[in-house]
């Protein structure tokens, strides 16, 4: 293949398209045979095709990299002949970002709410939650009806309920996801608050925030753009204006920002990457997570991510309750069995690597803890609760 490499019409050294060559050779075809297939497909798809000799020459130029495949007719013919899409065949040969098609992903929303020791048993009975566990933590769990997707409610014994809402999505770009995310966050918080208040008969429960994790199934990006896209998915808010009017964020503006960042690159010190080269790409930030298993059989499983976030958010909500009491001028009050000694034990479980824990899982856990600042919150809660005990 290297012997056929030459220069492009612009005088640059040509780079052979080894994907096109490999696809053709896998069929057992020569270039002229592929050209004849183009003739047949042209008639089938009602596409105007050049002469056979002209197509043979074009195939040679495309494969050797002397000419990029820009003609829509040839793009469609190659895709039809090799039964695949343009990204798999051509990537972004020009160096410009061109993300064809939509991105298939699952949105995982986590909505934690502090209930306290009195309301928790009321919730468990009202929602008919069954005993369960999330990693090392016992809890009660059950399905609840939600109009947007599959929703599971977890009730943790330290007084926190966490809704996990999974929604399968197909989005044309990250900008549309960012707009949808902002629009649905308020609804998710209000829904969780209303649902818990009705279930418990109390006005105490309030959902303060939502955290999202995006598990990518079918990315339209490749190479460098794929890594940039995963970073943006972990922090999609960077695509939106900080101040928006009642009409909501501008999708057009967000799309322009996305295109610029995919082209020029996006780096943020608040993002901690935890993927493994060749296996996965994972990004964690204060705003959320994104993960793409490039090798699904060897990468993390979706349950690994979900269970990690369930624990982190349930404990974060507990710490927030402790801090909130102190900021209101009160001594923090928690159930005796979930005092500072319990917090110390939890902090150790979260921050110390387990003997049989995989490197991938340890890397994800470390990234989530670092970006959520849960370790700091646990340490502060521990000190505040120990001060109350006078120890």
pLDDT tens, position by position, 147-163: 888 999 999 999 999 99
Q: Which two tokens stand for residue 292?
A: 């793409």
pLDDT at position 244 over 90: no
pTM: 0.73
The H-assigned helical ranges of 116-171 are 116-126
* pLDDT over 80 at 247, yes or no: no
**Which range is least confidently modeled, 54-63, 91-100, 156-165?**
91-100
282 three-state secondary structure: strand
- 159, 337 in Cβ contact below 8 A? no
Edge-to-edge, what's the strand order for the sheet holding 150-156?
Answer: 130-134, 137-144, 150-156, 160-171, 103-114, 211-218, 288-293, 280-284, 272-273
Taking only the tens place, the pLDDT of each residue in 105-123 is: 999 999 999 999 999 999 9
Instruction: List, in sequence order, the alpha helices (H) in 46-169.
Output: 52-64, 72-82, 86-90, 116-126
């Amino acid at each position: 293949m290297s012997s056929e490499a030459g220069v492009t019409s612009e005088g640059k050294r040509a780079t052979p398209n080894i994907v096109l060559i490999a696809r053709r050779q896998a069929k057992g075809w020569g270039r002229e045979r592929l050209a004849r297939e183009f003739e047949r497909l042209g008639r089938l798809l009602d596409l105007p095709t050049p002469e056979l000799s002209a197509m043979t020459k074009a195939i040679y130029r495309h494969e050797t990299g002397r000419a990029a495949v820009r003609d829509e007719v040839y793009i469609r013919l190659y895709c039809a002949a090799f039964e695949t899409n343009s990204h798999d065949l051509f990537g972004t040969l020009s160096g410009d970002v061109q993300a064809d098609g939509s991105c298939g992903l699952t949105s995982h929303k986590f909505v934690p709410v502090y209930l306290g020791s009195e309301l928790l048993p009321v919730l468990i009975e009202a929602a008919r939650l069954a005993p369960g566990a999330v990693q090392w933590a016992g809890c009660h769990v059950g399905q609840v009806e939600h109009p947007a997707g599959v929703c599971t409610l977890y009730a943790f014994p330290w007084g926190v309920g966490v809704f996990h809402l999974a929604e399968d999505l197909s989005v044309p770009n990250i900008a549309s996801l960012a707009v949808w995310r902002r629009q649905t966050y308020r609804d998710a918080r209000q829904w969780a608050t209303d649902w818990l208040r009705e279930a418990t008969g109390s006005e105490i429960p309030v959902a303060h925030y939502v955290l999202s994790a995006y598990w990518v199934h079918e990315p339209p990006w490749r190479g460098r753009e794929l890594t940039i896209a995963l970073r943006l998915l972990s922090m999609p808010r960077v695509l939106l204006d900080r101040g928006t009017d009642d009409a909501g964020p501008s999708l057009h503006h967000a799309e322009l920002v996305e295109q610029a960042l995919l082209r020029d690159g996006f780096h943020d010190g608040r993002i901690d990457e935890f993927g493994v080269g060749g296996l996965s790409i994972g990004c964690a930030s204060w705003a959320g997570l994104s993960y793409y298993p490039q090798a699904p059989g060897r990468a993390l499983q979706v349950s690994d991510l979900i269970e990690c976030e369930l624990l982190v958010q349930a404990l974060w909500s507990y710490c927030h309750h402790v801090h909130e009491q102190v900021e209101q001028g009160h001594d923090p009050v928690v159930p005796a069995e979930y005092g500072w000694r319990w917090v110390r034990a939890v902090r150790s479980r979260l921050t110390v690597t387990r003997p049989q824990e995989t490197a991938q899982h340890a890397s994800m856990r470390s990234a989530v803890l670092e970006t959520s600042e849960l370790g700091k919150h646990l340490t502060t809660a521990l000190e505040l609760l120990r001060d109350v005990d006078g120890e």
